[in-house]
Amino acid sequence: MKRVFVFAAILLAASVPAAAQKGPAPTMSHLPADVLALACSPTTAYGAPDTPLRLTGGQDSVWRRNYAPGDLVTINAGIVSDVVRKVLPGSPKAILIVVSNPLDAMCEVARRVSGLPRERVFGMAGILDSARMRWFLAEALNVSVESTHAFVLGGHGDTMVPLPRYSTVGGVPVTELLPRDKLDAIVKRTRDGGAEIVNLLKTSAWYAPSAAVVEMVDSVLRDKKKILPCAAYLQGEYGMSDVYLGVPVKLGAKGVEQIVEIALTAEEKAALEKSAGAVRELFQILKV
């Protein structure tokens, strides 16, 4: 039986209604059946699971605007480390999907503590960031979001790299449909999407991230081999090594089965390298 552990973190806050304070795991299991029909069970019990998917997590710290970057890294690194150590004894062949923020740094924590190969430790970010960009494109063009496709690379933060050149509406590149100033505004809003939600809700997003991670879990459990943007550990891909970054990957029964490399312009590559630099700065704070 395939066991996938989703680390659902930073998605709790006192301002969220009591029922929602249990975190994203219940909202994932309540998604419509046409989105995903599989057995899942939220838990903070770390024994051997009796269902293929267990949604695990502790009382992780919600992101707040007055947090210094190091604060959230230190707090959530301790929580993720504790959960990983409790999960692995009962499920040594588990695949770990990290949702905790700062996402790329928490992926690294899970990888270091677990000692698992990079294929089995990855994170949810790009699907959420791309979904936000898709919505902004659909809004700007007054079309269905289902007709849009968006491409976002890099770390999950304000150095992410949205790529209008690879984003389309009905198969047509958005660079042919929108002027540069509007595209620049959409790129900025995509980067600031998480902060926009915090400003509106006074807490981090929780439903949209849960829907995004459901798509990842579905691709793993059903061995769909979908190409999805995920935080993956690079070892030479895109000319970078020893860093987690959002890149397109093939997700199947073995986890990350392939990292898909796309051609980048000099400007895009420089932006991706800058994003990697920001992720590495967070790595330096880690004490695991």
pLDDT at 213: 86
| CA–CA gap between residue 112 and residue 107 (Å, rounded) | 9
Dihedral angle over CA of 38, 44, 50, 55, nearest 10: 20
pLDDT at 69: 55
Q: Indicate the domain borders of the chain.
A: 4-124
Known catalytic residue: 156? yes
pLDDT at 43: 59
Q: Mean pLDDT by 10-residue block, N- to C-terminus, for the chain (288 residues)?
A: 52 34 38 41 56 48 53 88 88 89 93 96 91 94 95 90 95 96 94 71 71 89 95 97 97 96 96 96 90
Which residue in 156, 157, 169, 178 is the catalytic one? 156
Neighbouring C-beta atoms of residue 20, cutoff 10 Å? 17
Architecture per CATH, 4-124: 3-Layer(aba) Sandwich (3.40)
Q: What is the CA radius of gyration of the chain?
A: 18
Q: Who contacts 25 (Cβ-Cβ below 8 Å, separation ≥6)?
A: 6, 8, 40, 42, 43, 55, 56, 57, 210
Report the predicted TM-score, pTM, of the whole model to 2 decimal places.
0.81
10 Å CB burial of residue 165 (0-12, 13-18, 19+) is: middle
First to last CA, the chain: 30
pLDDT at 32: 34
Residue the block writes with tokens 């039986």: 1
Q: What is the DSSP letter of 154?
A: B
pLDDT at 210: 82
pLDDT at 200: 67
